[in-house]
Amino acid sequence: MRKIFICTMILLSIASNCLAAIYPTNMFRWKRFLVNDVCSSFIDSYNYHSFITSHKKSYNETYLNHHIISTWQWIIYSDEKILSLEPEQAYTLQNRIYDIDCNKITVKRILTYDKNGNCIHDNSYDDFVIDCIPDSIAEEELMMIDLYDKN
């Protein structure tokens, strides 16, 4: 009985060490945000900014009073095969800007980490805009961030 208990404790400590590198440890900072078939994600409540602004679409069009949300997002993908991810990739941190009124998500930076917490890719983008297609994961994400902001 004692050997079974010791083996169980060793297995639990190994599993918790593996998960610690993938899931955020500070749950006061990282709030569970979205869970679906493709990914689990958390948003950074410490770097969360919500504001109303006006910005130019083109030289003669201006968007007035648009609701903008800027935050970092911790994303853990469920299935590497679906997204054709690299085998060593465990999670990403992404700096995202949500335009609630235009139904757009802009990705400014993506940091990719392995299972040990080492950064394996760091990509910055000037104009990586995702249009939210009806009934898509992007639309679900936009609706969830809007609900989070209202509550």
pTM of the predicted structure, to 2 decimals: 0.74
Q: Which residues contact 150 (CB under 8 A, 6 or more apart)?
A: none
Burial class (CB in 10 A: 0-12, 13-18, 19+), 64: exposed
What is the spatial distance between Cα 18 and Cα 26, in angstroms, rounded to a whole number?
16
What is the spatial distance between Cα 46 and Cα 52, in angstroms, rounded to a whole number?
19
Q: Distance of alpha carbon 123 from its chain centroid, rounded? A: 15
For 95-143, the pLDDT digits (tens) are 999 999 888 999 999 998 888 888 988 999 987 888 888 988 889 889 9
For 20-78, the pLDDT digits (tens) are 448 899 999 999 988 877 788 999 999 999 999 876 665 556 677 888 999 999 998 77
Q: Determine the 3-state secondary structure of 126 from DSSP.
A: strand
What is the spatial distance between Cα 136 and Cα 150, in angstroms, rounded to a whole number?
21
Q: Is 2-150 a domain of CATH 3.40.1000?
A: no
Cβ count near 121 (within 10 Å): 12
